[in-house]
Amino acid sequence: MSKEVTIDWCPDKSSKTALVHQIVQYITKKVYRGDWLIGDRLPTQRALAVAFDVNRSTISTAISELTISGVLETTVGKGTYVANNTWSLLVSDKTPNWKDYIEKGFHQANLPTIQAINKYEFDDDIIRLSTGEVSPELMPQDLFSEIFQQMSSEPIAFNYLEPLGLEALRTELCHYLKKHDIHITEKEILIVSGSLQALQLVALALLGKHSKVFVEEYSYVKSLKVFEFSGINMKTIATDNDGPLPWIIDTSTLREGTSILYTIPTFHNPTGRVMSHERRVELLKWCQKNHLPIIEDDAYRELYFDVRPPKPIKSMDTSGNVLYLGSFSKSLAPGIRIGWIVGPESVIERLGDIKMQTDYGASSVSQWMMTYMLRSGLYEEHLIQLRTRLKERCHQVLSYLDTYFSNIATWHVPKGGFYIWLKLNRAYHTDTLFENALKNKVLINPGFIYTSKNSSHIRISYSYASMADMEKGLQILSKIIREL
């Protein structure tokens, strides 16, 4: 499981130690300490010269020294790697073979493309065309300040909270969910650190070896490893414009207690699709009949532009068949890290026990903050403004697509959420497109990270980048596509 190493240091040009020797010492230390593993690849000499801010001749000399001493090895046409040789064995009596440990862990590494996305999303020089979070411009900073001032004037103890989360917040969420026709008690809801943790808890607490998670043809969870450990398998369900078609599943493959279905029915990630009310009814009836529980991820529900989406599947569930996930990360700020999962008391108690074993509860500060926001009505006021601004951003990005992509791609017009699902008219290697875009300082989420097959799609998000960056990035991306 080799990777390209990251350079996070520059030699000190004011030092009396020669630049070559500083670089040799830096690389040797990285390998000796186990930061860089056997087989890890170094960037090209040109890239190293830029990273270290030195001449290429200095890099060439340093690599020669490290190769002679056995720290590195270079293969023509393949590059320079951390060596797997006698020198590596000499340091192994002091440095554990972390590569073996890493490769034996339950969670396997993400796709290189996803690792690159996670890395470059924090590069200020990159235009992020696909980032699925609200821009700092859309976050209610004044509202946050007001809430924190209220909290500071009251005697709140920020201790650990009960296993299911702050009771006051669960009470407010019970009131909040009634407007979606979800009627529950505080014992049927667990506070989690976002929807992703809810999925992790379900995987840990409810799914065993050889379990199956049925997901849509394109799905957010396919870009994660949340289910792909301990023998849990993901199986694809065919979809149409209305959503998944579970009745195509071979029911002989279903075993009660080992299978579950995951769906995002409202402003789906990555396609932006909204499942119709009729399909929601059909889906629930079929799953109830075949004893297939549903995980309904409703993180984007409140982000509609004009017309409210159909009511949640959970609102029609009278038999405890649906686990319902929600989050404030998409509507307020991802750093708040507060979401929830609704389900039968027995399931919620089990998930709460596992959560206490993993992190001992979500942030008490964030839980109190969300309690105040819901109780005061300020959250609802914020949503009204957010919907308006997201709609404006969406229409602006659609106009850019009309200008730069009208003859090379097709797309849907969203009714809410964050995403435009761009389908290129020709079949491209979107991994090559991803790399070329990144070289031009544009970061995209190519469609293949959401599916097990080749894809000519790109997820475009209008929620994060500034409109100036969006136009510039889409113009660059259009040019790259036309030149492929």
Architecture of domain 114-132+384-483 in CATH?
A: Alpha-Beta Complex (3.90)
Portions of the chain given CATH number 3.90.1150.10: 114-132+384-483
Say yes or no to pLDDT of 154 above 60.
yes
* Averaged pLDDT score across all residues of the chain: 89
Segment among 147-161, 325-339, 344-358 with least mean pLDDT: 147-161
Residue type present at position 224: L
The two tokens of residue 194 are 């976002």
Q: Phi and psi at residue 343, in whole multiples of 5°?
A: -170, 180
Q: If you average pLDDT over residues 22-30, what whole number do you get? A: 91
Of 3.40.50.1010, 1.10.4160.10, 1.10.10.10, 1.20.210.10, which CATH number belongs to 19-105? Answer: 1.10.10.10
Chain mean position to CA 182:
27
Sign of CA dihedral 456, 249, 222, 383: positive
Q: Which residue's structure tokens are 């959401």?
A: 450
pLDDT score, position 49: 92
Average pLDDT value for residue range 142-155: 83
| pLDDT at site 230 | 65
Give the span between the Cα atoms of 295 and 215, in whole angstroms: 10
**Amino acid at residue number 77:** G
Task: Report the range out of 61-65, 80-84, 337-341 with the highest average pLDDT.
Answer: 337-341
% of the chain residues with pLDDT over 70? 93
Rg of the chain taking only CA atoms, in angstroms: 25
In tens, the pLDDT along 360-384 reads 888 888 999 999 999 999 999 999 9
Q: Where in the chain is the domain with CATH 3.40.640.10?
A: 141-376
Amino acid in position 403: T
Q: Give the pair of three-digit tokens for residue 179.
A: 């407007």
CATH 1.10.10.10 segments of the chain: 19-105
C-beta separation of 432 from 484 below 8 A: yes
Distances (CA, A) of 377 to 102, 325, 382: 47, 21, 9
Alpha-carbon gap, residue 330 to 121, rounded angstroms: 17
User: How large is the average pLDDT for residues 448-458?
Assistant: 87
Residue 88: the pLDDT is: 52
* Residue of higher predicted confidence among 428 and 26: 26
Q: What is the pLDDT of residues 97-131, one digit of tens each?
A: 666 666 666 666 667 788 888 888 888 899 999 99
Strands (E), 193-336: 212-216, 233-237, 239-240, 243-244, 259-263, 294-297, 322-327
Q: How far apart are CA 273 and CA 275, in angstroms?
A: 6
Look up residue 336 and give its amino acid.
Answer: I
Most confident of 22-31, 120-129, 183-192, 238-247: 183-192
Segment 193-245, tens digit of pLDDT = 988 899 999 988 998 888 899 999 899 887 777 887 667 888 889 999 899 99
Q: Does residue 91 surpass a pLDDT of 60?
A: no
Provide the pLDDT for residue 6.
Answer: 87
When pLDDT is averaged across residues 384-397 and rounded to a whole number, the result is: 97
- Model pLDDT, residue 228: 75
Residue 326: name the closest of 115, 177, 457, 466 by CA. 177
- Residue located via tokens 């709460």: 352
Alpha-carbon 345 to chain mean position: 28
Of residues 58 and 431, more confidence is placed in 58
Q: Is the pLDDT of residue 467 over 90?
A: yes
CA–CA distance from 225 to each of 221, 234, 237, 451 (Å)? 7, 10, 18, 13
pTM above 0.75, yes or no: yes
Q: Which residue, among 325, 311, 326, 314, has the nearest Cα to 287 in the 3D structure?
A: 314
Q: Which of 326, 340, 373 is nearest to 186 (CA)?
A: 340
> Alpha helices, DSSP H only, in 377-417?
378-404
More confident residue, 396 or 81: 396
Query: Tens digits of per-residue pLDDT, 59-72?
Result: 999 999 898 878 89
Question: What pLDDT score does 280 carry?
Answer: 97
Instruction: Give the best-scoring range by mean pLDDT among 32-41, 193-202, 443-452, 468-477.
Output: 468-477
pLDDT at residue number 108 = 64
Q: What is the pLDDT of residue 289?
A: 93
For residue 50, pLDDT beyond 80? yes
CA dist 265 and 276 (Å) reads 8
The pLDDT of residue 407 is: 94
In the predicted structure, residue 385 carries a pLDDT above the cut 70: yes
pLDDT at 337 over 70: yes
The pLDDT value recorded for residue 418 is 97
Closest to 241 in 3D by CA, of 377, 111, 56, 421: 421
Model confidence band, residue 153 (pLDDT cutoffs 50, 70, 90):
confident
Determine the average pLDDT of the residues in 456-464: 96
Q: Architecture of domain 141-376 in CATH?
A: 3-Layer(aba) Sandwich (3.40)
Question: Residue 157 pLDDT more than 80?
Answer: no
CB 81 within 8 A of CB 44: no
Share of the chain above pLDDT 90, in %: 62
Q: Is the pLDDT of residue 461 over 60?
A: yes
pLDDT for 433 equals: 92
With a cut of 90, say whether residue 316 has pLDDT above it.
Answer: yes
The token pair at 403 is 């200008």
Say if residue 170's pLDDT is above 80.
yes
pLDDT at 95: 58
